[in-house]
A = this chain, B = another copy of it.
Amino acid sequence: MSFEIELKDRISRTEEIISSYLPEPEDFGSKVMEAMDYSFLAGGKRIRPMLMMETHILCGGDGRLIAPFMAALEMIHTYSLVHDDLPAMDGDELRRGKPTTWMQFDEAVAILAGDGLLNYSCEVACLAFNLAESPDDFAAIASALKILYHHSGIYGMIGGQCADIEAENAQNVTEEMITYIHAHKTAALVRAAMCIGAVLAGADEDTVMKLDHAAECIGLAFQIQDDLLDITSDEATLGKPVGSDARNNKTTYVTLHGIMGSRMKVEELSNEAIDIIRNINHRNVFLEELVEWMINRDK
């Protein structure tokens, strides 16, 4: 099977798993549930839950406890987009060609839908306890919960978003600050995905630490590639306007290191990540291809 066909197949399997955890709209509060489902089902490549599952397979996991965490992670990613799009944040009206949640409903419902998704992610992740068969399972789920909310919170994604807002208003954005933003805003959920996949497979601490470092490299490379495409691609290929960073006077890794320097950095990070993944006991060739595709995409 070619990688593209396999990817399409895995995306639809991931979609099936995570969608099964959505709430059924009911009662008087149903509008917020509709808005949650609308945001969650608006598309996307489901990269985070897919990375979680593939890392789990890489570490020899049996998949028994992982489904609720795949759904929870995608809910967290989705809520962050819903709140990011709000007028007080980025004010985006379209996402993947569809009206953003606040445009489709209204601001109040979008705020509540974001809150609802974050809160529901925790309810869904806790469903894993119902699947636990041993004290080891309980301990693994507790670790997975800690990892998930550490990386999605103020020391992870939310911290990165706040730094991003601060950087937009700052006179002088340093490389340290850019690295902080990338490492937190973008790489944090990739780290959560891969570490949870490993922990729920019972991987030892050393393996989890190695995969955590691989995830950091992947997240960083993914973001630099995003900034590169904003300069080197065109709207027809990318499916969204290019050059927005330059228009917004945004300092990125590319403005600091140039196109060649950035391409070299992406290459270096990509090799480092693949090298780690290739040297775990088991092998998962699809995961290696997935990481290469994520990092070297042209859109």
Q: What is the interface of chain A, defined by CB distance below 8 A to chain B?
A: 23, 27-33, 36, 79, 83, 86, 88-89, 106-109, 111-112, 114-116, 118-120, 122-123, 126, 129, 135, 138-139, 141-142, 145-146, 149-150, 152-155, 158-163, 165-167, 177, 180-181, 184
Partner of A119 from the list B32, B86, B138, B158 (CB cut-off 8 Å) is B158
Main SS at interface, chain A: helix
Given A122-B145, A126-B145, A129-B142, A159 contacting B108 (CB threshold 8 A): no
How many angstroms from the CA of A135 to the CA of B135 in the assembled complex?
6
Write out the residue numbers on chain B whose beta carbons fall within 8 Å of the beta carbon of A107.
88
How many angstroms from the CA of A109 to the CA of B142 in the assembled complex?
30
A162–B111 touching, CB < 8 Å: no
Partner of A159 from the list B29, B155, B162 (CB cut-off 8 Å) is B29
How many angstroms from the CA of A141 to the CA of B122 in the assembled complex?
14
Distance from A6 Cβ to chain B, minimum over Cβ atoms (Å): 34
How many angstroms from the CA of A180 to the CA of B86 in the assembled complex?
28
How many angstroms from the CA of A116 to the CA of B161 in the assembled complex?
11
23 contacts between A and B (CB under 8 A): A27-B180, A28-B159, A28-B166, A29-B160, A31-B166, A32-B159, A83-B115, A86-B88, A88-B106, A108-B165, A109-B162, A111-B111, A115-B115, A119-B158, A120-B154, A122-B122, A122-B153, A123-B146, A123-B149, A123-B150, A126-B142, A126-B149, A141-B142
Partner of A118 from the list B23, B119, B139, B161 (CB cut-off 8 Å) is B119
Write out the residue numbers on chain B whose beta carbons fall within 8 Å of the beta carbon of A116.
153-154, 158
Write out the residue numbers on chain B whose beta carbons fall within 8 Å of the beta carbon of A155.
23
B138–A139 touching, CB < 8 Å: yes
Write out the residue numbers on chain B whose beta carbons fall within 8 Å of the beta carbon of A23.
154-155
Q: Which of the listed residues A27, A28, A161 has the most CB atoms from chain B within 10 Å of its own CB?
A: A28
B112–A158 touching, CB < 8 Å: yes
How many angstroms from the CA of A265 to the CA of B107 in the assembled complex?
36
How many angstroms from the CA of A115 to the CA of B111 in the assembled complex?
10
A29–B163 touching, CB < 8 Å: yes
B120–A118 touching, CB < 8 Å: no
